[in-house]
Amino acid sequence: MDIDATDRRILTVLQKTGRMTNAELSERVNLSPSACHRRVQRLEAEGYIRDYVALLDARKLGRPTTVFVEITLSGQADEVLDAFEREVKRIPDVLECHLMAGTADYLLKIVAEDTEDFARIHRQHLSRLPGVAQMHSSFALRTVFRTTAIPV
């Protein structure tokens, strides 16, 4: 299905302010509440809207440290990649894992309390991941900008 300008307005508003009533959303996108509700249901059913979440403040939850870890594996065989991906999903501190093109095979985004906590995560989890040949960690000094909104 193709989405039109009205669908795009709905998606844009919901990405930035997902916690609103259908009446508020319909007013923001200039539609009747019933038409807006039908469109949102269709966007959900067709997978454009994957989920609804609450975005938490990592600093308030005691996880202000963001670490990006580049991982190079010992090989590129499917078994090596599959084993790594299966195990990295089990680490609760890993927010994102991306298979990369370039010098590293994977890029992880990790949250930690501080450098000592990251050392614990490294010792207990990262160092035990299968197939890892090399790791390079970079600590974010400050987050300048962050969004979850995809341009529509």
Q: Give tens-digit pLDDT for 20-32.
A: 999 999 999 999 9
- Percent of the chain beyond pLDDT 90? 98
Q: Is 107 helix (H, G, I), strand (E, B) or coil?
A: strand
Evaluate if residue 89 carries a pLDDT over 90.
yes
Q: Which of 131, 134, 135 is nearest to 81 (CA)?
A: 131
Asked whether residue 114 is assigned to any structural domain, the reply reads yes
**Whether residue 98 sits in one domain with residue 41:** no
Q: How far is CA 11 from CA 37, 43, 95, 121, in A?
A: 13, 9, 23, 36
d(CA 9, CA 14): 9
CATH of the domain at 41: 1.10.10.10
* Same domain, yes or no: 70 and 115: yes
pLDDT of residue 133: 97
Q: What is the count of structural domains for the chain?
A: 2
Same domain as 133, residue 89: yes
Residue 97: the pLDDT is 98
Give the pair of three-digit tokens for residue 114: 């501080």
Q: Is residue 144 part of a domain?
A: no
Residues 102 and 137: their CA atoms lie apart, in Å, by: 16
**In a shared domain, residues 76 and 11:** no
Give dist(CA 1, CA 28) in Å, integer.
23
CATH of the domain at 73: 3.30.70.920
Same domain, 95 and 130: yes
Residue 133 placed within a domain: yes
Which residue type is seen at 81? L
Do 73 and 38 lie in a common domain? no
Please state the rounded mean pLDDT for residues 40-46: 96
Question: pLDDT tens for residues 7-17?
Answer: 999 999 999 99
22 and 82 assigned to the same domain: no
Is the same domain home to 28 and 94?
no
For residues 73 and 132, membership in a common domain is answered with: yes
Residues 132, 88 share a domain: yes
Residue 30's domain comprises 5-45
Angle made by CA atoms 121, 126, 128, in degrees to the nearest 5: 120
Claim to verify: residue 133 and residue 74 sit in the same structural domain: yes
**Residue 57 in domain:** no
